[in-house]
Chain A
């Protein structure tokens, strides 16, 4: 079955440590996105990539980094510079930038930093 796999489902880190969240898709989608979700808030865009080896900052990119070396993979690194890293992180992909290609989401990674 095609889909988006995020791993791990739960992640715990100590403050000051960098951590990388994995996102893999086998949908052959060109575009991939990382969103952050906090309780009672909508989704906020962190980074997105429309093509391999290219990515752009979203609305809240500070303290995060990404890479897009392969079409299938779009890992997100939460660095120690991110002031409030504890959140639910969602990866998504779509076949193109057109509105008639909806976003497909993974099941998310819940990151807790103490």
Chain B
């Protein structure tokens, strides 16, 4: 079945780059998303990438997609303390008519001053 896996925790120093990784199993995945969740809040869409793209950059965020290995990463440049949050990877398939997203468990990013 469909599955999305993420490492649970990442700790970096302020100013360093953060790289959060995600793997997925559905080969028909069409869109892959990154969401950010701050404590006690809902999920905020950060960015998403279509499966025919290898890379997408948006200010400090860079998304890399390796379709062969079914691997997605989110790089945050110049990480700030305000970036501390849980980051979720999610995917959906064009074969799905429900719009259902499959989420990973979330990666907690801790940014130390």
Contact = CB atoms under 8 A, between A and B. Distances in A.
Interface of A: 4, 6, 31, 33, 35, 40-43, 45, 48, 50, 56, 58, 90, 92, 94, 96-108, 110
B97 interface: yes
Interface residues of B, number: 29
Contacts of A35: 103
A105 B44 contact: yes
6 contacts: A42-B88, A90-B43, A94-B99, A102-B45, A105-B44, A107-B42
Interface in B67-106: 88, 90, 92-94, 96-101, 103-106
A103 B42 contact: no
Contacts, number: 71
Among B41, B42, B98, max chain A CB count under 10 A is at: B42
Nearest to A97: B99
A99 B102 CA distance: 12
A48 B42 contact: no
A56 B94 CA distance: 19
B81 to A, nearest CB: 22
Contact of A99 (B8, B42, B94, B103): B94
B31 A41 contact: no
A42 B104 contact: yes
B33 interface: yes
B88 A106 contact: no
Given A42-B4, A48-B100, A50-B98, A99 B105 contact: no
A40 B31 CA distance: 24
A50 B8 contact: no
